Amino acid sequence: MSIIMIDIESDGPIPGDYSMISFGAVLVDRTLDKTFYAQLRPISDKFIPAALEVSGHTREETLMFADPKEEMERFLNWIETHNVGKLMFFSDNNGFDWQFINWYFHHFLGSNPFGHSSTNIGSLYKGLIKDFRPNFKHLKRTPHTHHPVDDAKGNAEALLTMIDEMGLALDL
């Protein structure tokens, strides 16, 4: 099984009308040293300035980013290089992150290697501790910077803590 932790930054709330500006991925293993990062040129003229500001980039900068299709092809190649067995998409906010990755894969490449499923690590943590109120963010070591590789790595660290210290049964 291959777990890939993903985080995305966008300039709006939904794919298609708005654009995924960047994304990062980390293969969840004991080293967390297999990472992927992409910056994608916008696919729409629409953007919400406050949403774009979170990414740390200006609209002018994003217009110089790489072609989205080429970046999705590069990501697919990275996945194929590192995948062993079942491929699993994990994220802190999987409802948001997965919709963009799914849309971009289908729109530009015709299919999504992750299929139709994703896992939310916040929900996983709440089930593990049997309490819906707390969140898992205290388990991260890498600071949350809104750089998608940093954020994905922090989430991967939290998942490893759940496995190593909290008894989550998950084979890596």
In whole angstroms, what is the distance from residue 63 CA to residue 68 CA?
11
Q: Tell me how long the chain is.
A: 172
Report the percent of the chain where pLDDT is more than 90: 97
Domain of residue 53 covers 2-166
In whole angstroms, what is the distance from residue 150 CA to residue 144 CA?
7
Q: What is the three-class DSSP state of 90?
A: strand
In whole angstroms, what is the distance from residue 119 CA to residue 90 CA?
5
Question: Does residue 73 contact residue 121 with C-beta atoms inside 8 Å?
Answer: no
In whole angstroms, what is the distance from residue 51 CA to residue 14 CA?
11
Q: Give per-residue burial for 110-130: e unless 16+ CB within 10 Å, then b.
A: eebebeeebbbbbebbbeeee
Question: Does residue 158 contact residue 141 with C-beta atoms inside 8 Å?
Answer: no
How far from 151 is each of 23, 26, 86, 166, CA to CA, in Å?
10, 10, 23, 21
CATH number at residue 48: 3.30.420.10
Question: Is 108 inside a domain boundary?
Answer: yes
Q: What is the pTM of this model?
A: 0.96
In whole angstroms, what is the distance from residue 164 CA to residue 151 CA?
20
Which pLDDT does position 171 carry in this prediction? 83
Residues of the chain with pLDDT under 70: none
In whole angstroms, what is the distance from residue 32 CA to residue 151 CA?
12
Residue 101 phi, psi dihedral angles, 5° rounding: -60, -45
Q: What is the number of domains present in the chain?
A: 1
Q: How many CB atoms lie within 10 A of CB 164?
A: 10
Question: Is 89 inside a domain boundary?
Answer: yes
Which pLDDT does position 172 carry in this prediction? 82
